[in-house]
Structure 1
């Protein structure tokens, strides 16, 4: 699990890349769960929360950039 502070240090483009990576991992974890191959069930929760953290930080950065413009 990554902290929101780590995400705040990233640029919006880096956050978008990280979001894509986590969405792929989430898909793979769901697929593993459906086929009964998932070992670490807690990882599903942590990935979901990291996705939420990234979306929150990215939207705040975008809103800040629009306010400055």
Structure 2
């Protein structure tokens, strides 16, 4: 899988998680679940940032090779 596809899939997963979190955020019985989901979203965000950096670096390197 390339970085662009990884980014697209991860962003899609994050959108679904946010939607689910919105649904359960007002239900006290899901407090622990909401905390776990928040942690997962933070992990996904970290992965997205690393993937974007990697993609930018590879694009910059590719451009330099073309010059």
Given the two structures, how large is their TM-score scaled by the length of structure 2?
0.59
More helix by share: 2
Residues 22, 47 of structure 1: 8 Å contact kept: yes
Looking at CA atoms only, which structure, 1 or 2, has the larger radius of gyration? 2
Q: Cα RMSD between the aligned structures? A: 2.2
Shift in Å at residue 25 of structure 1?
0.8
- Map of 1:37-56 to 2, 5 A cutoff? 38=30, 39-40=32-33, 41-56=35-50
Query: Which consecutive residues of structure 2, in runs of 5 or more, have no partner in the other structure?
Result: none
- Map of 1:1-69 to 2, 5 A cutoff? 10-11=1-2, 12-33=4-25, 35-36=26-27, 38=30, 39-40=32-33, 41-69=35-63
**Can you list the C-alpha shifts for 1:37-61, whole angstroms capped at 9, x where unaligned?**
5351222112222122122222322
Structure 1 runs (4+) deviating above 3 angstroms are none
Query: Which consecutive residues of structure 1, in runs of 5 or more, have no partner in the other structure?
Result: 1-9
